[in-house]
Structure 1
């Protein structure tokens, strides 16, 4: 059995914690913005009245609330995915071909599906409140990279299931 590269695993572990910290900070920022908008809605909208980014600020309350809710849900999905990756990396130092890792990869795949599905209404909402051509209007939507990541997660889950079954069969014959 090959020896795992502990330096690479340690760096990956650190990077995953950094990413998780950034996701949590982003989620807190989204929640803070939502609270600030509830408290100071008229003042905030007065500041955006002549904005080159938004269409009609008088009708933004519901779409902005929906947008912030979708962003928060996407960030929660991303945090879940990172936690699954952290568990995968932790087991890679011992024995990566276990049934739990196949389950984790399948969970990652389904979480990626959920995040991609949430990105579609996010795009619709952002494009409905932002002027065409602005960076804000291009937020979300279907991503080829995300679709490939979904396929990769499910294929890797199948590979891990097969690897686990093969190893169990080999151990049973010895």
Structure 2
């Protein structure tokens, strides 16, 4: 672990990743808590919408908002796992041994988590678009993120690179 303490970039990365882990927990918890709050205070929400002369279908609106909150909580949970895998990879770099089969598994898991996050963003976007159409005066835009798909592809490739690197190192150690 001495190498980790000597490399300021790895130390900064670990601090940032730890902050991101906390942020993911906070966002996930806030969304899980907000869902029942929305159900409890739905009458106040509709009263506010009515005060702005907006008529929305009550049941569908509440269901859509609660679904969005819970899907965001799921995305936050996946983001937590994603960042935790990355922090563990950073730790192995600091220890001087990044090309391990476990890091290849972590990278592949990160790729699948990225795909999961992107997949959940589609129904969230659709629900947000619907909410924008039923609440007058709200201009909502939604688009797919090709950056997330590209990130998943890069992570799958890096997972193979790490797996092959670990295999080559094991082979080399076996011949020495």
TM-score bracket relative to the smaller structure: 0.7 to 0.9
**Does structure 2 conserve the Cα–Cα contact (< 8 Å) formed by 1:106 and 1:157?**
yes
Give the structure 2 partner of residue 25 of structure 1: 26
CA distance in structure 2 between the aligned counterparts of 1:76 and 1:120, rounded to whole angstroms: 17
- Helix, strand or coil: the match of 2:99? coil
Q: Indicate which of 87, 108, 111 corresponds to 2:110.
A: 108
Q: Distance in 2 between matches of 1:18 and 1:148?
A: 25
Q: Report the TM-score when normalising by structure 1.
A: 0.87
Q: Could you tell me how far 1:133 is from its partner in structure 2?
A: 8.5
Superposed CA deviations along residues 101-123 of structure 1, whole A, max 9, x for unmatched, are: 00000000111111111111111
Structure 2: any 5+ residue segments left out of the alignment? none
Query: Cα RMSD between the aligned structures?
Result: 2.2
1:70 and 1:118 in contact (8 A); partners too: yes
Aligned residue pairs, count? 169
Within the candidate set 91, 96, 99, 1:97 is matched to: 99
Deviation, structure 1 residue 69: 1.4
TM-score normalized by structure 2? 0.86
CA distance in 2, matches of 1:146, 1:71: 16
Structure 1's unaligned 5+ residue stretches are: none
